[in-house]
Structure 1
Amino acid sequence: MKDQILIAIDSGKSNTKAIASYKGNKYSIKFRTKMLQVEKNRFGAEIQPGSYLVDFNDRAILLGDMVDEANSDYSLSKTSLIHQISIYTAISQLLKKANTPSDVVIRLALNLPITSFKDQLQKEKFKQLMENNNQTVYLLVNGQAYSFFVEDVTLAFEGMGEVYAKPEKYKHNNSIIIDIGSLNCTYCQFIGLQPQIDSMIVSDYGINRIKGVLRNIINERYGVSVSSRDAELALRSGYFSNGGHIFEDSKVIIEELKLEHLKLIINNALSRGITFNMSDTIFVGGGSLTLRRYIKQEFPHAIIPDNPVYSNCYSFLKILEIKYA
């Protein structure tokens, strides 16, 4: 009987996160979901950690930190080349970390936005793309060749958090999961382990909205042109600087924007019938780290898991463990 490896991937608009389980060991990887097509066989820069030069279907593609923020994907769909390449690259690197044999059977779970998850046609298109239309996947990653076959992909909806990863913790409670990503914010209510379909909502209140507002404020207040990368760094650092000079009032502006954004997320939930009554509130996704201070301020009893970026992956992996036990 062939070995099998379980791989759970949450490929978001900001980061691709993945966890694998193989022979009792866990492996993980995370890199930026940014893509730039480069000239095949001519790209000469040294590949830095967190970046990958991928040769797939006769295309040379650079992924990760070396790619500028302007090359991020802001479309709502996951049925795209950038997500296909990111997912295949994550698989290749997890196979490498786990040192699997060439004939290992890959059991794969992938994320889909709730809007796509509810649409059977969109689900099938995404599934066919990620299964490479039932063809073996061949690619080079940083000069190393990989080949593998992906079949029977398990699709899971975004916004489940760690509910299925820790069923004993959640099965007797009502929960509201708020998954704050870079592009979207997803809401889902659970009664025990059962998601409530009518509560599965997607909004455009991802963290990128803060960056857009911040760029406009900096431009108007300081008369400085700001790139997507500048806004990303300013939000991450908590201040804006130009020519080495830190604008002290920018620290206050950024903190105010964070609080205002959290209030937008909550008010949107309330407007859609989510009352926050009689339920635990759990914030997951990378945005929950950005807004952690104000989540704790506005929701003192809210739960933010230890590693909220991987929360969906943990649940995806548990689903695979049960399915292929």
Structure 2
Amino acid sequence: MNRFISVDCGKADTKTSVLLTLGNSIARSSFPTRVIEKPDKSCLESVNGTGETGFIVEYDGRVFAVGDIANSDDSFTSNQNSKNDITHKIATLVAISRSVNNDDAVKVVIGCPIELYSNTTNREKYLNSILPSGRIDITVNGISKHFTIIKKLVLPESLGILYSNRGLFEDKLVGIIDIGGLNVNAAIIDNLRLVSNSCFTEKLGRRAIENEIRQYANDTYESSFSTTEINAFIRQGYITDNFDQARENTSRQFIDKSLGNHVVNIVRACSKHGWNLRNMNLVFIGGGSILLKDKIMSAFPNATVVENAAYANSDGFLINLCFTERMLTEG
């Protein structure tokens, strides 16, 4: 069977969008972009064949722990600010393998940084380093998969929303602000065309918020809180304290202020890079925009925080791939 798959392998999470044959709907999934080679025994014992976000992977004679079973402090990349490495290759192949059956023929689209995409040679080199052509043999949580990549495509990151919602951009000047796990990537679009020299990247993703809240929680309670706990506190808007209501209320104020200040920092970054935020339309995507939606809308009442914001890129890439294939078939 032919499969159409999009993989948005970010520095924090790997998102996958897959075209379902029934109803032309999209299935979505994600897992943390963490990879450790030669995992220890605790990793090997922590997963089974039904793992959804943690995987033991065998590929090309090497063994990796991938996803939430890979400790973020131990997981590696060849360059922490680069995506051209084994981490993103393995994460991408795992994402594909979870969405296919044996002997499937796969058409895949991935993203790459805008500055890399602008150079044809560099983007092709990136594509080939992440996605091999031809047959892929990979074992994930003890289940062997083999499939064949018959078409591969690379598109610029943060611009997936252009393909899925053209109406937001036609005849308009629009700033796209993609709030990811580690970074904020931003670009200005003029009537569906990228404005040269408008793009920038700043380390203002949701991890900065998590780190600030973690520091506050650890200092307040003289303890060490897990990422799971910190994310739960942020979602609910306060640090649960069953014995001290005043301290819980103080945490509510701190988290609210932290979220507001983070939006202010993003605004300052835009201004630093010469953006005129007063007089342009704004579209926010990325998982961080969900977390910050209330603060974003308070600062910019006319802004758009897109639906399924965490999957805006992978969904858009998939739509582009399907449209391209349909046009090629019809032509």
TM-score tier after normalising by the smaller chain length: 0.7 to 0.9
1:13 corresponds to which of 11, 14, 18:
11
Which position in structure 2 is the counterpart of 1:259?
Answer: 260
What amino acid sits opposite 2:59 in the alignment? F
**Per-residue deviation, residues 130-179 of structure 1 (Å, max 9, x unmatched):** 233x4532111122211223355311122214221122443232211100
Query: CA 1:103–1:209 in 2, change beyond 3 Å: closer, same or farther?
Result: closer
Give how far 1:318 is off: 2.2
Give how far 1:121 is off: 5.6
**Per-residue deviation, residues 232-286 of structure 1 (Å, max 9, x unmatched):** 4433443335898774122211111111011000111012111124432111100
Query: CA 1:130–1:221 in 2, change beyond 3 Å: closer, same or farther?
Result: same
Query: CA 1:126–1:46 in 2, change beyond 3 Å: closer, same or farther?
Result: same
Q: CA RMSD in A?
A: 2.8
Which position in structure 1 is the counterpart of 2:193?
Answer: 194
Query: CA 1:259–1:150 in 2, change beyond 3 Å: closer, same or farther?
Result: same
1:4 corresponds to which of 2, 5, 8:
2
Which position in structure 1 is the counterpart of 2:329?
Answer: none
The alignment status of 1:128 with 2:128, answered yes or no, reads yes
For structure 2, which runs of at least 5 residues remain unmatched after alignment? 327-331
The alignment status of 1:79 with 2:84, answered yes or no, reads yes
Structure 1 residues 205-224: aligned runs within 5 Å: 205-224=204-223
Structure 1 residues 22-171: aligned runs within 5 Å: 22-23=20-21, 24-37=24-37, 38=39, 43-47=44-48, 48-71=51-74, 75-96=80-101, 102-104=103-105, 106-119=106-119, 122-132=122-132, 134=133, 136-150=135-149, 152-171=151-170
- TM-score, length of structure 1 as denominator length: 0.86
Which position in structure 1 is the counterpart of 2:294?
Answer: 293
For structure 1, which runs of at least 5 residues remain unmatched after alignment? none
SS at match of 2:269: helix
**Per-residue deviation, residues 78-123 of structure 1 (Å, max 9, x unmatched):** 1122211111111111114xxxx7152x221111122433455643
**Per-residue deviation, residues 195-247 of structure 1 (Å, max 9, x unmatched):** 11211211111111122233333344443345555544433443335898774
Give how far 1:70 is off: 3.3
Aligned length: 317
Query: CA 1:179–1:209 in 2, change beyond 3 Å: closer, same or farther?
Result: same
Distance 1:84 1:71 in 2: 18
SS at match of 1:155: strand
SS at match of 1:78: coil
Distance 2:20 2:263 in 1: 38
Residues 158 and 186, structure 2, Cα contact 8 Å, conserved in 1 = yes
SS at match of 2:186: strand
% identical equivalent positions: 23
Residues 164 and 193, structure 1, Cα contact 8 Å, conserved in 2 = no
Residues 4 and 107, structure 1, Cα contact 8 Å, conserved in 2 = yes
Q: Which range moved further: 297-306 or 72-81?
A: 72-81
Residues 36 and 76, structure 2, Cα contact 8 Å, conserved in 1 = no
Query: CA 1:119–1:234 in 2, change beyond 3 Å: closer, same or farther?
Result: farther
SS at match of 1:150: strand
Distance 2:244 2:56 in 1: 36
- TM-score, length of structure 2 as denominator length: 0.84
Distance 2:256 2:75 in 1: 24
Which position in structure 1 is the counterpart of 2:176?
Answer: 177
